[in-house]
Amino acid sequence: MSGYLLALTGASGAAYGIRLMAELLSRGDDTTIVISPSGFLLLKEELGIECTPEDAAVKLKAHMNSKPWGKSLKGALSVVRHDDLMAGVASGSFMLKAMIICPCSMGTLARVATGTSGNLIERAADCMLKEKRTLVLVPRETPLNEIHLENMLKLSRMGAVILPAMPAFYTKPASIDEMVDFIAGKVLDILGIENNLYKRWKK
């Protein structure tokens, strides 16, 4: 298997994607990143990371390295343009461990649900579905209308995992970072990766 594919789209919650990226890399997992145009805007607005597809790998690493949890990134990080439909991950023959769209906009979710492969994110997700491989979508939207709910149900029935960005409060989070860690930890759980990013429920 050729590592993980992580896509960041225009739904608010860029911190979730960055934290997940750091965890995968810190475990030595090679990670391919695809960022939508709206995803780049989100990185700038929410995290102050102003980058392009050409310099994103360097700037994302610098941002992660500045955090206590981003000091030891062992895996290889590569960034592929969202419009590069000739990339390896655009083919079902490219063996990925899993694909995660985090955060996942409702527009992206809708296009994946209907098989509209207009960019690399949507095409790669389509490949994961047809090859019966792990696809995790982390939507961040509220309230939800009937279209959103129907699209999520449709994808769930296809085998995708819908993991909404809904932090728990039984952990008594003391910071935004701890709330972000909870969601990143839940994604890692789905991927079968042991982690201690959040406090697990105990009576």
For the chain, list the domains and their CATH numbers.
4-190 (3.40.50.1950)
pTM higher than 0.95: yes
Percent of the chain with pLDDT strictly greater than 90: 97
Whether residue 203 is predicted with pLDDT greater than 90 in this model: the reply is no
Task: Please name the residue that has the structure tokens 């475990």.
Answer: 27
155, 193, 88, 59 alpha-carbon torsion, rounded to 10°? 110
What pLDDT score was predicted for residue 2?
77
Q: Is the peptide bond before 164 cis (omega within 30 degrees of 0)?
A: no
Q: Is 155 helix (H, G, I), strand (E, B) or coil?
A: helix
Whether residue 202 is predicted with pLDDT greater than 90 in this model: the reply is no
Q: Is 101 in contact with 137 (CB distance < 8 Å)?
A: yes
CB atoms within 10 A of CB 62: 13
Q: Is 130 in contact with 96 (CB distance < 8 Å)?
A: no
Confidence of residue 8 (pLDDT cuts 50, 70, 90): very high
The one-character DSSP state at 201 is P
Helices 14-26 and 56-65, axial angle in degrees (round to 10): 80
Alpha-carbon distance of 171 to 193, in angstroms, equals 20
Whether residue 63 is predicted with pLDDT greater than 70 in this model: the reply is yes
Confidence of residue 184 (pLDDT cuts 50, 70, 90): very high
The mean pLDDT value for 177-187 works out to 98
Confidence of residue 199 (pLDDT cuts 50, 70, 90): very high
Q: Is 162 in contact with 139 (CB distance < 8 Å)?
A: yes
Q: pLDDT tens-digit profile of 66-105?
A: 999 999 999 999 999 999 999 999 999 999 999 999 999 9
The mean pLDDT value for 104-120 works out to 97
What pLDDT score was predicted for residue 77?
97
Q: Which two tokens stand for residue 185?
A: 């930890």
